[in-house]
Amino acid sequence: MAVERLDADILILGAGGAGLSAALHATDRTPSPSVTVVVKGLLGRAGCTRMVQGGYNAALAPPDSLEAHLLDTLRGGGWINDQELAWTLVREAPRRLLELEARYGCFFDRTPDGRIHQKPFAGQSYDRTVHKGDLTGIEIMNRLTEQAWVRPVRVLEEHRAVELLQDEEGRVGGALLLDLRSGRFSLLRSRATLLAMGGGPAMYRVVACSADKAADGIAMAFAAGAPLRDMEMIQFHPTGLVVPGSLMTGALLEEGLRGAGGHLRNGLGERFMAAHDPGRMERSTRDLVARASYLEVAEGRGTANGGVWLDVSHLGAEFVERNFRGMVKRCRDFGRDLAREPVEVGPTAHFMMGGVVIDPSCRTLLEGLFAAGEDAGGVHGANRLGGNGVADSTVFGGIAGDVTAEWVEGRPLPRVSEARAAERADRLLAPLGARGGEDLYALQARLRRLMWERVGLIRDGEGLRSAGEELEAMAERVRAVSVPGGREYNLAWQDWLNLLSQVTTARVIARSALERRESRGAHYRRDHPEPAPAWLVNVHVRVKDGGGMEVWTQPVRFSRREPEAMGAGALTVEVGD
């Protein structure tokens, strides 16, 4: 079928914190590049950055320091972070925070003497998390969106990318897009393409991410031949709401509740974190708290609805209502009074630490392709600290905008195959009107159960192998799905496209988890329950010719600090670096 052709100097796929930061930086860097932003939903209303409740980590003043922020990030990440990426994050976060406030108009909470207020978050040495109440993401996204509308940026709302375009040498030169409203395809050529679509582990049964997320960017990068790393590392946030019979099950209650002194209790009323991390208790890292909650339920000490209790009532109703207005309202919408009584919570799939391999300039190993935010791996290692996520998006989004604006100068538009794009579009239309195929939603439900039960918080070799086999079969089954209706605003068709990406990404997650034969961070193997020095490696995956997977490991490069278990060395960083 024929497809419409569009051109841009810089194509940004995604319009959350990373995508909009990139667009603003690219247009501010030089007025010459044409920038196109593609977003599945409406600008400023889609994606996960808007859902950020807790805040933004930045070391602003003593006794905190860049070195302390780096060390917390590496410890939280199980020491498999790319240390240059982690250092870039902590070094640039204070500068980007100042930019958000002074240049883009964000307003963060202040102390009585006028300083930016920073609250405690788990796994951190100091109160480091800058916030706007407990609705920080809305503040950041509103201001970034306002800035984007007044810059020379073409925005394609309610469009999705379905495939990266490549020339004969494998260089990336744009994407095949689908207009959700009309069902029409377009070919958008670009000199530089940025993946900023957000990961989103929506292939799990209980999830906290935005409903439009399907790991599309990671799936497209994998299909194009880009190496991925650390894909076994899926973060489960410990405090997702438990609301029986509601799709709101899994929606987050932010980490600041635990940071402020909230207690977690099992169904017997016991503060169970005393048995799992007696030093930090509820302020332990997300991986430990989520796994502890899961085990309490699995071992018969959960609530009647299969959760645990989060209790902040002892902090005083006035304090809770003043500092956590968004969380109080969310709970009251479901008949719970967070300020005065315990609320039922449980683990929820939240964030993907793994993703496309990048360098500190956001370059991937495919020429012309860049990645930032949750599409990129390496910053967070085996576990992300709360408050490092939106910092990651805005820091590396800004870097990507600066780098691509310079990179495209003088480069010709690539020669990509329109025939290949049309062929791909035809294949994606195949389920429409087909009869007698697989049931889309039965397959979707099976994927979510499979990932939760065998590739979730507690894993083992046997379960991972069987999951991998079923996922390989599912990759064929999903192509035999029949979808009713036409092309215009067909939500079932969009769910099928989501499922394609989710199954692809699930295959990579399961295979990477099988490869890592130890427990570290968010990855826990009951058959290998301890971390092993031999596994201070990153698991890499890429597609093989013919569609299989090549899996290999690379030793972690300790360019800034060695793990304490190996003999802690002095930090080799300077504040002015």
Just list the catalytic residues: 237, 258
The half-sphere exposure of 533 on its side-chain side, counting CA atoms within 13 A, is 6
Contact residues for 229 (Cβ-Cβ < 8 A; gap 6+): 354, 355, 356, 357, 377, 378, 538, 539, 540, 541
Instruction: Provide the whole-model pTM.
Output: 0.94
Residue ranges of domains in the chain, CATH in brackets: 4-233+351-407 (3.50.50.60), 237-347 (3.90.700.10), 418-532 (1.20.58.100)
Per-position DSSP letters for 83-144, written without gaps between them: HHHHHHHHHHHHHHHHIIIIIT-----B-TTSPBPEE--TT-SS--EE-STT-HHHHHHHHH
pLDDT of residue 285: 83
φ, ψ of residue 213 in degrees (nearest 5): -85, 140
With beta carbons less than 8 A apart as the criterion, state whether 246 and 261 touch.
no
Rounded to whole angstroms, the Cα distance separating 373 from 219 reads 15
Read off the pLDDT of residues 262-271 as tens digits, 9 standing for 90 and up.
999 999 999 9
* pLDDT of amino acid 252: 85
pLDDT along the chain (577 residues), means of 10: 85 96 94 90 84 88 97 96 98 97 95 93 91 90 95 96 94 97 96 94 91 93 97 94 88 87 94 93 89 93 94 94 90 92 94 97 98 97 94 98 96 90 93 90 97 96 98 95 94 97 98 98 95 96 90 97 61 35
Q: What is the pLDDT of residue 565?
A: 60
Nearest to 366 by CA among 90, 175, 122: 175
- Measured distance CA(375)–CA(357) in Å, rounded: 9
Distance CA 538, CA 554 (A): 5
Q: What is the pLDDT of residues 444-492, one digit of tens each?
A: 999 999 999 999 999 999 999 999 999 999 999 999 999 999 999 999 9
Separation between Cα atoms, residue 385 and residue 286, nearest integer Å? 7
Q: Say what the pLDDT of residue 568 is.
A: 37
What integer pLDDT is reported at residue 2 of this predicted model?
66
